[in-house]
């Protein structure tokens, strides 16, 4: 960069800019490219790739950065040159990293930091900010495709030459614009079994007498073999009872009555004692009372109270 010889390298702004140029060239980013003009290192041309997984993906968006004379103590200004549907073109945009908000700027930030932040701002809600647009997703994607065709036209031949070089470099590493399938949601539904399959399985269940097994077979078509193993290990089939209709003949209500699954219940065993066991219990109880009466009588006799008990006083 021969033109830099005219700048005072002891100037803090010039010294900082030259450091950033060297750092940008030694450590290029796959998401953006930026270079200053040879005649004015305070003006940079840049291009960023649209952020992935957004309507801007695959697009190449050019712009201009104007650094202030007291950079990096004051923030730069940004201008987009490529239509994106997110920012107006050839107009300074309002960002927290731009000269519209100098209170947010940090001198430790750089052109690289600003471009990373700009890419992050692309898919956010514009919120009515100055220089912002809010196009539909389909329109933004169409502009992303169009941005790859040719670089924008802007400024002097020197600027245009630098813009063309940057565009060629970015186009070589830009991913293709993803195509949105209009009926993408229908593809997933094609993998699901038709509702008629459940009816067929139910008919087979009525014929074979195994309703639970037929329905689980239909569920396996949806969940796959792995889920089938999990269901087989953790599922217990409840007993099935028939709801009968007393007004129908026995043969007909067996065929037409619905099969209602019952909740599993713990069996209750009722043990009924025979009569002779009861008599033995009563006899044992009476014998116990008689023994207790004899013990009490003997106790009173020893203590001289037997006559009182027998009524001999």
d(CA 24, CA 216): 61
Q: Phi and psi of 252, rounded to 5°?
A: -75, -40
Tell me whether residue 94 is one of the annotated catalytic residues: yes
C-alpha torsion angle, residues 44, 49, 50, 51 (rounded to 10): -110
Nearest-angstrom CA–CA distance, 51 and 120: 7
Q: Which of 31, 43, 92, 94 is catalytic?
A: 94
The 3 state secondary structure assigned to the chain is: CHHHHHCCCCCHHHHHHHHHHHHHHHCCCCCEEEEECCCCCCEEEEEEECCCCCCCCCCEEEEEEECCCCCCCCCCEEEECCCCCCECECCECCCCCCCCCHHHCCCCCCHHHHHHHHHHHCCCCCCCCCCECCCCHHHHHHHHHHHCCCCCCCCCHHHHHHHHHHHHHHHHHCCCCCCCCCCHHHHHHHCCCCHHHHHHHHHHHHHHCCHHHHHHHHHHHHHHHHHHHHHHHHCCCCCEEECCCCCCCHHHHHHHCCEEECCCCCCCCCCCCCHHHHHHHHHHHHHHHHHHHHHHHHHHHHCCCHHHHHCCC
CA distance 63 to 51: 16
Active site residues: 94
């Amino acid at each position: 960069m021969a033109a830099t010889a005219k700048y005072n390298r002891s100037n803090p702004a010039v010294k900082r800019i030259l450091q950033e140029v060297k750092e940008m060239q030694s450590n290029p980013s796959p998401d953006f490219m930026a270079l200053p003009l040879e005649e004015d290192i305070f003006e940079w041309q840049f291009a960023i790739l649209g952020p992935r997984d957004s309507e801007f993906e695959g697009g190449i968006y050019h712009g201009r950065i104007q650094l202030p004379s007291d950079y990096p103590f004051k923030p730069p200004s940004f201008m987009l040159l490529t239509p994106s549907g997110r920012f107006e073109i050839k107009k300074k945009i309002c960002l927290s990293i731009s000269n519209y908000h100098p209170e947010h700027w940090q001198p430790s930030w750089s052109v690289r930091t600003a471009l990373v932040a700009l890419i992050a701002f692309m898919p956010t809600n514009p919120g009515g900010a100055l220089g912002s647009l809010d196009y539909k997703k389909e329109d933004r994607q169409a502009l992303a495709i169009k941005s790859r065709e040719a670089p924008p036209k802007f400024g002097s031949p020197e600027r245009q030459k630098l813009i063309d070089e940057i565009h060629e470099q970015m186009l070589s590493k830009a991913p293709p614009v993803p195509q949105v399938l209009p009926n993408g949601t229908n593809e997933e539904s094609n993998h699901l079994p038709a509702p008629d399959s459940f009816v067929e399985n139910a008919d087979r269940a009525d014929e074979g007498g195994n309703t639970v097994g037929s329905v689980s077979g239909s569920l396996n078509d949806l969940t796959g073999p792995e889920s089938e193993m999990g269901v087989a290990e953790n599922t217990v089939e409840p007993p099935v009872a028939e709801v009968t209709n007393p007004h129908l003949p026995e043969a007909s209500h067996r065929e037409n009555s619905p099969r209602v699954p019952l909740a599993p219940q713990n069996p209750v065993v009722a043990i009924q004692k025979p009569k002779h066991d009861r008599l033995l219990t009563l006899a044992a109880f009476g014998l116990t009372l008689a023994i207790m009466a004899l013990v009490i009588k003997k106790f009173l006799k020893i203590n001289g109270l037997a006559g009182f008990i027998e009524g001999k006083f």
